[in-house]
Structure 1
Amino acid sequence: MIKVLIVDDDPFIRESMQVILDLDQELRVVGISQNGKEAAEYASAHPVDVVLMDIRMPVCDGVEGTKLLRALPNPPAVLILTTFDDDDYIAQAIRYGANGYLLKNVSPSLIISGIKTVHQGTMLIHPDIARKLAGMLESPRGAQAEPSYLFDQVSKSLAEQGLTQAECQIVRHVADGQSNKEIASSLFLSEGTIKNYISEILGKLELRDRTQLAIYYLKLMQRN
Structure 2
Amino acid sequence: MNLLVIRLLIADDDSLIRESLKIIIGMDKEFDILAAVENGKQAVEFCESHDVDVAILDVRMPIMNGVEAIREINKSTQTKCLILTTFDEDEYIKDAISYGAKGYILKNNTPDKIKDAIRVVYNGSSVMQDVVMEKVKSGFNKVKIDVTKFTERELDIMEAISEGLSNKEIAAKLFISEGTVKNYISTILDKTGLDHRTQIAIYYIKGKV
Identity %: 34
1:122 alignment counterpart: 125
Q: Deviations over 1:28-59 (max 9, x none)?
A: 10001111111010111111111010001111
**Structure 1's 49 and 113: CA in aligned 2 closer, same or farther, altered over 3 A?**
same
Check conservation: 1:133, 1:215, Cα contact below 8 A.
Answer: no
- Are 1:66 and 2:46 an aligned pair? no
Q: Deviations over 1:166-194 (max 9, x none)?
A: 976xx79x98xxxxxxxxxxxxxxxxxxx
Residue 75 of structure 1 deviates from its aligned partner by 2.1
Check conservation: 1:22, 1:29, Cα contact below 8 A.
Answer: yes
Which runs of 5 or more residues in structure 2 are unaligned? 163-172, 176-180, 189-195
Of 50, 55, 59, the match for 1:51: 55
Check conservation: 2:10, 2:22, Cα contact below 8 A.
Answer: yes
Number of matched pairs: 178
TM-score when normalising by structure 1: 0.68
**Structure 1's 37 and 213: CA in aligned 2 closer, same or farther, altered over 3 A?**
closer
TM-score when normalising by structure 2: 0.73
Check conservation: 2:125, 2:197, Cα contact below 8 A.
Answer: no
Residue 116 of structure 1 deviates from its aligned partner by 1.1
Of 2, 7, 19, the match for 1:15: 19
* Separation (CA, whole Å) in 1 of partners of 2:41 and 2:118: 21
2:94 alignment counterpart: 91
Of 131, 135, 155, the match for 2:134: 131
Of 185, 193, 196, the match for 1:205: 185
2:151 alignment counterpart: 164
- Higher Rg of the two aligned structures: 1
Check conservation: 2:98, 2:199, Cα contact below 8 A.
Answer: no
Residue 25 of structure 1 deviates from its aligned partner by 1.0
* Separation (CA, whole Å) in 1 of partners of 2:49 and 2:204: 32
Which runs of 5 or more residues in structure 1 are unaligned? 176-197
User: Pairwise mapping of residues 147-186 of structure 1 onto structure 2 (< 5 A)?
Assistant: 159=149, 163-164=150-151
